[in-house]
Structure 1
Amino acid sequence: MKFLVILLGFVCTAALAAPNAPKVHSFRKIKDTEILPSEETRVTRGQRAARNQFPYQVSLQWAEDDFSIHFCGGSLISASVVLTAASCAADFVDNTRNISILAGALSLNESSSSSQRRLASSFIVHENWPVVSETSDSPFDIALIKVNPPFDLSSSVQPVVLPSQGADVSGSAVYSGWGYTSDSDYDYPSILQYADVDIISNDQCADVLVSLVGSSEPLDDSQICTDGEQNVAICTGDVGGPLVQNGVQVGVLSWGLSPCGVSIAPSVSTKVPSYVNWINANLFLSKNVLSLFLTKLLYNRSVPMMKLVVVLLGIACVLGHGTANVDSPYPAYARDIEILEFDDTRVTKGQNAARNQFPYQVSLRWFNDSVLPIPLCGGSLISASAVLTAAHCMAYDDEGSYDIVAGILDQSENTSTTQRRSVNSYVLPDDWPGGNFISPYDIALLKVALPFILTYSVHPILLPQQDAVVSGSVIVSGWGYTSGSGDAEFPSILQYVNVDILPNDKCAEDLTTASGTPGALDDSMICTTGRQNVATCGGDSGSPLVQNGVQYGIVSWGIGPCGSTIAPSIYTRVSNYTNWIKANL
């Protein structure tokens, strides 16, 4: 196999790009360093990954006839797109025929139910990556690979979270890969390896390089270094793999010094926060003008992301309360009455939830081959494998897929408490009309592919008895808009508010007052008062209404602008469906 690699020209791509030119940043032998015994030169210090520990990790492989050989790492950033190094992909831009991507594997030798293999269909290498491969220490060492067909997301195959453009990177991180564990034993490990490392400043990194090779050029701001103090380093076959911090990929493994792990030499990665805009602009890897337009707008942080989805995809009702395609006696929008000052139109009155305060609250996200997972609705965990949400949140199943994130307080976080599961199947009431109409039967039961692990941060809510009636004070939580203002954005931290149940006859009166349009409420709906200018809003749909640890409602619809009138919020009455839920669990 090694002979084949050489014949195929993988010296630069598969082996950390060791150039002939004696560059400081090249993978050449380190002079006068303390060479450790062979058994101590392991790149990852003997850390074997566990099954599903790194579900975003993939292996880039050269496939020929009935064999495949690993040559680089990569990370899944959507169901159909892999992030890797330009030094791994540049040679294949015009010839993808023999490149395959292996995901969901712990061992390179396995062929299990969790592993999936896809062929590379196209490559995008950063336009500033130098054509001459000898400059392996260049910035711009980043590339995207499109696979066809997309991967099936599961507990073993999941995209990694990308950082914000320009985000700072410091502290500890983890990298993973199937690269060599020693320069004295040139075999790839069978089991995926990983190492916890510290990120060091570029100045400190350059100083260490000077101490090892005698000189150093400044490192580019788009590169980051990890400490080699414990003789931990990336090696041949690790390039292209992910450097991850708290579930967010901050680096693409790029280069280091050889021999691997026999000195205090740092490892250098491409800094992902420097390229997030580039990734997003090229994510679709297609010439579909509408898709490209949508991609660039979705990731323009100056524009609220979900509002663009509403405009371009027409899912205003799913994101909000059902204000689109209203074919019912219910009001769609509020007239201009009693509009409050902006600071007083907050849905939740500024109540940030505390860690683990609502362990049943989940975030329902939507994505497809072109759009990374985006928060769409709320939901509640009612068992380790089942979630309740609103039926109208599932209106776009034919256009994408859904997953569920539990154990989070902040939508942007990915911590040790975070758990993510794919939606395996769901059940809707037979009488649900479909689409995003305002209607009774706005309830959905979602099943996840792999049960959640129940913890203090992830725990189910209790269901009411069939036909139970609720009154008095209740609590609603969600990540929906905190204002009905035109420039509102989703809050990062989970919000909640205590509010009172409003009898349906009073609710109907307030709806008429707020909108000027009369309309009867169905008995399967319940209301909370808006007389304190408190209301649910876009993005809260599907979230739970709870009293004393029992869920009585599911956020369904309301009148906009949110919280700017006395308009109540309307929920699906869970107790009308308790028997239906239990029958379909």
Structure 2
Amino acid sequence: MRRPTVRALRGALALTAAATAVPLATPVSAAADSVVIGGKPVPDGGGSFTVALSSRNRFGGKRAGQFCGGVVVAPAKVATAAHCLSKEVLGSNGTKDLKVIAGRSKLVDGGGQEVAVQGTWVNPDYNPVTNVGDLAVITLANALPESYVIKLAGPGDPAYLPGTPAAVYGWGDTVGDGSYASSLYAAEVQVLPDKACKDAYPGNSEGTYLKATMLCAGLPGGGRDACQGDSGGPLVANGRLIGLVSWGSGCAQAAYPGVYTRISAFVRPARNAAPL
């Protein structure tokens, strides 16, 4: 796919269109074009900061209704992509059926917990056309264990330096052809220079990369990336959250790295009302 997509939206729409023929089961994330292409299954107990967003009414029960990812940033707060909570993804019922699945690697297992949503905040500056400000925060009805919380990398953190090893987590497409994972995967990538994404997405039909709120990651030669179904999931470096799966052109292509929401743009500095 050579057009930029948020890695949750495209799959959601495709599945909705097919709802009269087959049960909704494998939502695709526009901001995550793969379930971490080139990744490996995460061992049980690993990646506990990663959660699945679920709507069985919208996406069926085969994969527990998973359609996007998220990350625990406080015991009762989950960060995800703004486009994951859009009407295009969730339909007219919005967040009525929305739950957060935590502490469960395999989606259909009975482990972990499914937590109801108390409220949502969507970045008022989010632009669905340019993908700028692709951030939302979910408030949970019940708090998760403190051990699930991941630290955030603020402005100036060395985790953002090009070449830093990183990992992206998700339940999305693992190959790029709609083969969705039923267990959590992670792919080892690296932070890429902003120039790599500026060259790939200079402001034409492929999209526009803006380094102030976006982060570029992947491998110089391609082969590992997030994909459909991974939107909103975490990009982690040096043990800290640096990005959320947002958008890209295709999956794992050398010329088109993955674009992530840059967490440092939203970390709450002193005397500022930033959301994280």
TM-score w.r.t. the length of structure 2 is 0.78
Q: 1:565 to 1:465 in 2, by over 3 A?
A: closer
Counterparts of 2:99 and 2:85, CA distance in 1:
11
Q: Deviations over 1:539-569 (max 9, x none)?
A: 1110011112210101100111x22443100
Counterparts of 2:248 and 2:209, CA distance in 1:
14
Query: Structure 1 counterpart of 2:240, which letter?
Result: V
Counterparts of 1:500 and 1:508, CA distance in 2:
16
Higher relative contact order (CA 8 A, sep 6+): 2
Q: Deviations over 1:478-526 (max 9, x none)?
A: 11101122xx3211121111111111112222447xx985844342101
Matched, 1:443 2:135: yes
Q: Structure 2 matches for 1:61-460, cutoff 5 A?
A: 294=19, 297-298=22-23, 305-306=25-26, 319-321=29-31, 347-368=36-57, 374-396=65-87, 398-401=92-95, 402-415=98-111, 418-433=112-127, 436-454=128-146, 459-460=148-149
Alignment root-mean-square deviation, CA = 3.1
Q: Structure 2 matches for 1:517-528, cutoff 5 A?
A: 519-528=208-217
Q: 1:166 maps to what in 2?
A: none
8 A contact 2:59–2:67 mirrored in 1: no
Identity %: 26
Q: 2:5 maps to what in 1?
A: none
Gaps of 5+ in 1: 1-290, 300-304, 308-315, 324-344
Counterparts of 2:264 and 2:94, CA distance in 1:
31
Query: Structure 1 counterpart of 2:26, which letter?
Result: M
Counterparts of 1:371 and 1:520, CA distance in 2:
34
Q: Structure 2 matches for 1:441-480, cutoff 5 A?
A: 441-454=133-146, 459-466=148-155, 468=157, 470-471=160-161, 472-480=164-172
Q: 1:400 to 1:411 in 2, by over 3 A?
A: same
Q: 1:566 to 1:492 in 2, by over 3 A?
A: same
Counterparts of 1:557 and 1:572, CA distance in 2:
9
Matched, 1:555 2:245: yes
CA shift at 1:453, angstroms?
A: 3.7
**Is the radius of gyration larger for structure 1 or structure 2?**
1
Gaps of 5+ in 2: 1-15
Question: Which of 177, 189, 197 is the aligned partner of 1:507?
Answer: 197
Counterparts of 1:484 and 1:537, CA distance in 2:
7
Q: Structure 2 matches for 1:531-570, cutoff 5 A?
A: 531-560=221-250, 562-570=251-259
CA shift at 1:465, angstroms?
A: 2.4
CA shift at 1:420, angstroms?
A: 1.1
Aligned to 2:268, what secondary structure does the other structure show? helix
Q: 1:147 maps to what in 2?
A: none
Q: 1:369 to 1:349 in 2, by over 3 A?
A: closer
Counterparts of 2:32 and 2:234, CA distance in 1:
17
Aligned to 1:382, what secondary structure does the other structure show? strand
Q: Deviations over 1:284-307 (max 9, x none)?
A: xxxxxxx9x7265116xxxxx336
8 A contact 1:366–1:400 mirrored in 2: no
Q: 1:447 to 1:475 in 2, by over 3 A?
A: same
CA shift at 1:409, angstroms?
A: 1.1
Aligned to 1:557, what secondary structure does the other structure show? strand
CA shift at 1:451, angstroms?
A: 1.2
Counterparts of 1:361 and 1:368, CA distance in 2:
22
CA shift at 1:368, angstroms?
A: 3.6
8 A contact 2:206–2:249 mirrored in 1: no
Aligned to 2:264, what secondary structure does the other structure show? helix
Counterparts of 2:180 and 2:247, CA distance in 1:
17
Query: Structure 2 counterpart of 1:422, which letter?
Result: A
CA shift at 1:393, angstroms?
A: 0.4
8 A contact 1:346–1:563 mirrored in 2: no
Q: 2:12 maps to what in 1?
A: none
Counterparts of 1:296 and 1:499, CA distance in 2:
37
Counterparts of 1:384 and 1:430, CA distance in 2:
24
Aligned to 2:26, what secondary structure does the other structure show? helix
TM-score w.r.t. the length of structure 1 is 0.39
8 A contact 2:37–2:227 mirrored in 1: no
Question: Which of 245, 261, 264 is the aligned partner of 1:572?
Answer: 261
Counterparts of 1:552 and 1:352, CA distance in 2:
21
Q: 1:583 to 1:370 in 2, by over 3 A?
A: closer
8 A contact 2:70–2:233 mirrored in 1: yes
Q: 1:425 to 1:508 in 2, by over 3 A?
A: same
Q: 1:352 to 1:322 in 2, by over 3 A?
A: closer
Query: Structure 2 counterpart of 1:377, which letter?
Result: C
8 A contact 2:248–2:256 mirrored in 1: yes
8 A contact 1:346–1:534 mirrored in 2: no
